[in-house]
Structure 1
């Protein structure tokens, strides 16, 4: 069984999750800096964070 990044080289899939882990740590740090938010505001914050990173 081939791994996805080996089977589909044209997609240029990375063979590690470093990029994803870095992104998740940025989001986690940003949420920690805004610790007092209500859950509804956290959801809006996450939505804005994800849309900003596109």
Structure 2
């Protein structure tokens, strides 16, 4: 569980991904009413994996 949280935090950093701007680019999280904005990776997943390991 700890490694999963570290990976999510790494991928959500602004130097690794960016948020989509539109209102319609939000998705519901679980059964709650909260929404989370979609993100797009700034690099290939292979390169991000190497960066995470470093």
Shared fold per TM-score greater than 0.5? no
Tell me which protein shows more strand as a share of its residues.
Answer: 2
TM-score of the pair, normalised by structure 2: 0.35
Name whichever structure is richer in helix by fraction. 1
Q: Which has the larger radius of gyration?
A: 1
Q: TM-score under structure 1 normalisation? A: 0.35
1 or 2 for the larger relative contact order (CA 8 Å, sep ≥6)?
2
